[in-house]
A and B are shown apart, each in its own frame.
Chain A
Amino acid sequence: MSVLQIDQLRRQLREKFPAAHRDPLPVPGESLPQAPLEFSPGQLSEIISPRQSSGASLVISELLEEKRDLPLALVDGRDSFDPASYGNEKCRRLIWVRCSKTEQAIQCADLLLGDGNLPLILLDLHLVSERELRQIPAALWHRLKIQARESGAALVAMTPRQIVPTPHRRLTLTGRFSLDHLELKSPVLQLHNPESQKLAGKA
């Protein structure tokens, strides 16, 4: 089959099934279905933040607002969490692990998963550099996945791009904010689940 034929076939498929071929990254101004912020116990999920100001902190804020019996563990890969932005009341439901290196963060997440006492662990690699992200071997994610399954704790990795192989759930942050959102408007967390959209398109 020639290259031209393949291109033609792809175009026909794209025209026939536009939802299945939609770019997971949102088109500006287009409204996308909102995905709920729920994570299954014993599973590894990934939240991708393709742009730096797309609402990754709002995820932490939302999770801290939820009433839970045990606190949320935040493994902060770049030591970037700002308690003043959240308020003391919310921070009472948080265990903050301040890491200075990605390697430390992975180690801490591994320990907390192995311990299995806390139900939800947030591994924040949002501001980690591309070079450091590339140094995380894929086998390590498999190890974390197995640890999560054995301990029953949910691990949520917040990353700037797709790096976790086969997560249970992958969400993409699609928020776009302006200076008005800092004071005047209330920013709303915008999460998009490409998998569910693909499924919806197929259906």
Chain B
Amino acid sequence: MNSPDQGVTKQPARPESIKAVPVRHPGRWAGAVVIVVLIAMLLHALFYNKAFQWDVVGKYLFDSSITNGLVVTLELTALSMVMGLVGGVLLAVMRLSPNPLLSGVAWLYIWIFRGTPVLVQLVFWNFLGALWPTLSIGIPFGPEFWSGSTNTLIPVFTAALLGLGLNEAAYMAEIVRGGIQSVDEGQAEASHALGMSRFTTMRRIVLPQAMRVIIPPTGNETISMLKTTSLVSVIALEELFRAGQNIYSRTFETIPLLITVSLWYLFLTSVLTVGQYYVERYYARGSNRALPPTPIQRIRALFQGRHTPPAPPVVNPGVHGGGNFS
């Protein structure tokens, strides 16, 4: 087609573009005004209510006990999610096993760990010493080779990790099972017909496709786990929340420290949300005919002078991260 600019003679067949008065929306304007007033009130309260003590918030934001607590929170989140994922895949495969003992055990595990509160489980692991004062290695029902005190073998961090990780495994198991079952049976059949073993089929064909279903809830679980770690403050492990508590129990600056802690949680969940977005995109390859551009790609496209709205989802191959189809 020729560019329309080049045609000097006007085509009479082409109708004039429509000039009409657009529909007015007075309700939207009224709503906007109400919201602006509310935001103004909120900002006013935040900055003029001295009880917020923003200077104290700032003072403790990078305080060493807070940042130490932050590191513990991150370690706990990462390790319990790893435990949850590995345990979850294992339990999911067990539950889908034709062996009734394996699937029964997996079912029982999920029933117990999903059916009791994680707070109770945490305290339980912390008091394991009351149940079995010593732990030992030996032949079952036979002689013991080595034994030690439960309380020294399971310090509070390990108790927290067991509580969170084993509980998470039960939830992840159901997520992974749902993912595996969402993959068409023909996929495993095609893979077997090519001579691929069960293990290779699971690893190369089934799990990567299940990931598309598994990733979004796993992202939610990770974000949820980050916040759930604050529960371990009850067994006196000094993570982020407990670190804040320790300070305000001393200084009585309760509100500013709660804000300090919340700002950190908010920052970390934001980082995780961005990470989740890109991981989801990666596992969506092949399922969408063309992926929509990422926010960064949109912004770059805007600065490159394309002021047209990015309506058709064209992946710009020149822009970062767009190489999915090359």
Do chains A and B stick together as partners?
Answer: no
Which A residues have a C-beta under 8 Å from some C-beta of B? none
Which residues of B are interface residues toward A (Cβ below 8 A)?
none
